[in-house]
Amino acid sequence: MISKMRRVSDYKQLTKELPHIRYVDPEKVYINLTTSRCEEYQLNVEPGDTVRLGQILGEKDGCFFKQPIYSTVSGTVEGIEKKVDGTGIEVECLVIRNDFKDTYDSSITDRPDSVIDQMTQDDFVEIVREKALVGLGGSGFPSYVKLATEETIHTVVINAVECEPYLSSDYRLIHDQPDQIFQGLSYVMKAVKAERGVIAVKKTKKELINILEREVKRYDHLDIRIAKLGDYYPQGWEIETYKNALGIKVPSGVLPTKLGILGFNVSTCASIYDAVKHNMPITKRYLTINGDAVKFPQSIRVRVGTLVKDLIKLCDGFTDDAEQVEMIIGGPMMGQAVDTQEVIVTPTTTSVLVFKSITDKEEPCVRCGSCVINCPVHIQPVNIMSAYKRNDTVSMKQLEADKCIECGLCAYVCTSKIHVTDYVRKAKASIG
Ligand code: SF4
Ligand code: SF4
């Protein structure tokens, strides 16, 4: 049997061993008001207004959910400018000049444990909704929708696999703040009355396993275990994680919650802790700046709304021999290429990768079948690509392009250097 997973060099050594730096004091932050999902918004503030850290500035609208917009610094509202977000689209942003005082909004207060102990699922859901928490692994899906599940959940899985090459932001989070992760997990378990919690991590991350195993002893009143998974890509794809961590195969098209499993990315889990315990929305996050065109790659704790341009400066810019560079927001397999540094850090920005431009010319498809063999969801990337090129919607549907998880493996393995994933992604969007 041919495995549908692949060993992909992880290139993480460089950043995971560097001490991470904090860069939480940009002169200005750019808080996105629109996204590809929400094109409308209302604001409660106007230019000249003074705002506090964690203050509600308005609300995103125009999609199936409304989402409060929070300030990530204290300072003064300057106006609205267009920047680019991590999906490569232009978004409207509220510009706030930082006063470097970090004056907290009055809503940012600690919730006593005695109050948390009495909380129901609805209470947890309301906090997570109100604080606008989303999947921080990159999905951006509203966390309250997942947490509001009405299914009977037996196991909560925290996905700390971080299987994309170069990424080490989750690594830094677990390294620096393991207690937040266990606390966040205990809150989710309490909310959905789950008997078990599992933290899934790659078995090659020995330092993290030591940290997690040390920490888990402090939670021996709960049934929490650490699942050590193989070093393959896409091990972090939730279906693969559940199969290997729990031995449960989730059939295609079935929601994991139907089988009693509720999963969150590890950074999302920590954000749930911050929201529940401290009433804090997402104002900062860890991210990785890496790639062969960056002078000093770093793991950075950064304020949401910071410009990527400022972060590149912080890494001393590009290497001297990098005449032309390619920039990717997110991992090299699933990330989005952008052609500007005017990109904002959002809660879902896991990394910024910059590579020296390699002009890999696409060759004609040699029908080697490698993309088909390696596709983890068992679809036929090469045939979907052909159907897309001839605008054949019927075939794209028959070939189930909508099942693609955009893992990037088909492009990675393509012997002809064809950007197969881009074609499948476009096919998926055109029939979606
Ligand atoms: S990107 Fe989509 S089509 Fe390509 S290998 Fe991954 S799941 Fe399959
Ligand atoms: S891997 Fe590339 S060359 Fe091989 S069949 Fe797929 S698209 Fe064609």
Domains of the chain as residue ranges with CATH: 13-104+283-356 (no CATH), 113-278 (3.40.50.11540), 370-431 (no CATH)
Q: Is 169 helix (H, G, I), strand (E, B) or coil?
A: helix
To test the pocket of ligand 2, the residue of 389, 418, 419, 424 to mutate (highest count of ligand atoms within 8 Å of its CB) is 418
Q: By alpha-carbon position, which residue is closest to atom 8 of ligand 2? A: 365
Amino acid in the structure at residue 426: K
Residue 358 is predicted with a pLDDT of: 67
Residue 256 is predicted with a pLDDT of: 97
Average pLDDT score over residue span 151-159 = 98
Ligand 2, closest atom to CA 368? 4
Question: Which residues make Cβ contacts (< 8 Å) with residue 389, sequence separation at least 6?
Answer: 423
Q: By alpha-carbon position, which residue is closest to atom 2 of ligand 1? A: 404
d(CA 99, CA 166): 34
**Contact (Cβ atoms closer than 8 angstroms) between residue 414 and residue 385:** no
Residue 71 is predicted with a pLDDT of: 98
Read off the pTM. 0.90
d(CA 233, CA 290): 19
Residue 18 is predicted with a pLDDT of: 56
Cα 402 to ligand 2 centre (Å): 19
Tokens, residue 415: 């012997």
* pLDDT at residue 204 greater than cutoff 80: yes
100 Rama class: left (phi>0) / alpha (psi -120 to 50) / beta: left
pLDDT band at 4 (very low <50, low <70, confident <90, very high): very low
pLDDT band at 332 (very low <50, low <70, confident <90, very high): confident
How large is the greatest C-alpha to C-alpha distance in the chain, in angstroms?
A: 65
Residue 75: φ, ψ to 5°: 165, -150
Residue 195: name the closest of 166, 138, 227, 156 by CA: 156
Q: By alpha-carbon position, which residue is closest to atom 6 of ligand 1? A: 407
Residue 38 is predicted with a pLDDT of: 80
DSSP H helix total and E strand total for the chain: 15, 17
Rounded percentage of the chain residues whose pLDDT exceeds 70: 94
Q: By alpha-carbon position, which residue is closest to atom 7 of ligand 2? A: 382
Of residues 256 and 5, more confidence is placed in 256
pLDDT band at 336 (very low <50, low <70, confident <90, very high): confident
pLDDT band at 414 (very low <50, low <70, confident <90, very high): very high
Residue 2 is predicted with a pLDDT of: 34
* pLDDT at residue 13 greater than cutoff 60: no
Q: Which of 11-25, 127-141, 152-166, 247-261 has the lowest mean pLDDT?
A: 11-25
d(CA 26, CA 43): 23
d(CA 182, CA 218): 9
Is any atom of ligand 2 closer than 6 Å to the C-beta of 383?
A: no
Residue 324 is predicted with a pLDDT of: 86
Integer CA distances (angstroms), 330 to 143, 244, 348, in order: 20, 25, 9
Only one residue has tokens 């509720």, namely: 262
Q: Which of 188-197, 231-240, 366-375 has the lowest mean pLDDT?
A: 231-240
- The beta strands (E) that lie in 45-146 are given as 50-51, 56-61, 67-70, 75-84, 90-98
pLDDT digits (tens, 9 = 90+) for 38-56: 889 999 999 999 999 999 9
Average pLDDT score over residue span 193-210 = 96
Ligand with an atom nearest the CA of residue 377? 1
Calculate helix-pair angle for 178-192, 169-176, nearest 10 degrees.
90
Q: By alpha-carbon position, which residue is closest to atom 4 of ligand 1? A: 410
Residue 290: name the closest of 208, 350, 343, 223 by CA: 350
d(CA 407, CA 334): 5
Residue 424 is predicted with a pLDDT of: 96
Residue 212: φ, ψ to 5°: -65, -40
To test the pocket of ligand 1, the residue of 424, 425, 428 to mutate (highest count of ligand atoms within 8 Å of its CB) is 424
Cα 5 to ligand 1 centre (Å): 11
pLDDT digits (tens, 9 = 90+) for 269-306: 999 999 999 999 999 999 999 889 999 888 899 999 99
Q: Which of 55-64, 112-121, 173-182, 287-296 has the lowest mean pLDDT?
A: 55-64
d(CA 420, CA 411): 5
Q: By alpha-carbon position, which residue is closest to atom 7 of ligand 1? A: 404
Cα 376 to ligand 1 centre (Å): 7
Is any atom of ligand 2 closer than 6 Å to the C-beta of 418?
A: yes
Q: Is 69 helix (H, G, I), strand (E, B) or coil?
A: strand
Is any atom of ligand 2 closer than 6 Å to the C-beta of 415?
A: yes
